[in-house]
Amino acid sequence: KAVELAKKHNTRLHILHISTAKEIALFNNDIPLKDKKITAEACIHHLWFSDQDYASKGNFIKWNPAVKTANDRDQILKAVLDGHIDVIATDHAPHTIEEKSQPYTSAPSGGPLVQHALQALLDMVKAGKMTLEQLVQKSAHNTATLFQIEDRGYIREGYWADLVLVDLNKPYTVSKANILSKCGWSPFEGHTFSSTIEHTLVSGKLAFSNGQLIEKGAGERLLFNR
């Protein structure tokens, strides 16, 4: 209904958290992103998990909208790569382990995804599911273009230095000992990623290095060209 109304009135609409293959038909890929009125987003968990993972992960992959079938997951990835879906996001929601350990119907939806989002996408690159260029486009370039963020999203002279230095050949196993989110858990626990985040710069300041957060006010206000 929302998409129909947006088309009828030629208004701007951004749809979050695409979780089914059926939704993809609502969007087009025949015009440049900057000219689109209706855009869409896919989340890491809908690109990674499927309903086959509920048996082992249970509440820890409970999201709203829910993780669906392997076919939905694969079609969403295809739509990301062919331009029907414009950006990749995390929907980071770090509920406590106590909250997520409740019975399924009582446990909140959502989970912590910021820390391991890039590593998950880099695993997809290594598996041949996307290229490094597509990863950067969908998680950085398109985000800046879509929301008209000023001086970010690209490596360009005069832009803020939001950079990540990655060792692509250094495996990293997720465990409670290296989870940085205060909630203390991750849906990726036990998984070994093919890469390791070595350093992160935010607004030109070192914010993460060798497994440790550097909390010294690296953040800066986002500005928008609109």
Domain range list for the chain: 2-213
Residue-level pLDDT at 216: 77
- Tally Cβ neighbours within 10 Å of residue 54: 16
Please list the ranges in the chain whose pLDDT falls under 70: 218
Of the candidates 72, 86, 91, 162, the residue annotated as catalytic is 91
51 is catalytic: no
Task: Count Cα neighbours of 212 within 13 Å in the Cβ-side half-sphere.
Answer: 4
Residue-level pLDDT at 1: 79
Peptide bond into 94 cis (omega under 30): no
Q: What residues pair up with 172 in beta bridges, in sequence order? A: 193
In whole numbers, what is the pLDDT of the chain averaged over residues? Answer: 96
* pLDDT, tens digit (0-9, with 9 covering 90-100), for 114-136: 999 999 999 999 999 999 999 99
Topology, domain 2-213: TIM Barrel (3.20.20)
Distance from C-alpha of 102 to C-alpha of 100, rounded to nearest angstrom: 6
Q: What residues pair up with 209 in beta bridges, in sequence order? A: 199, 212
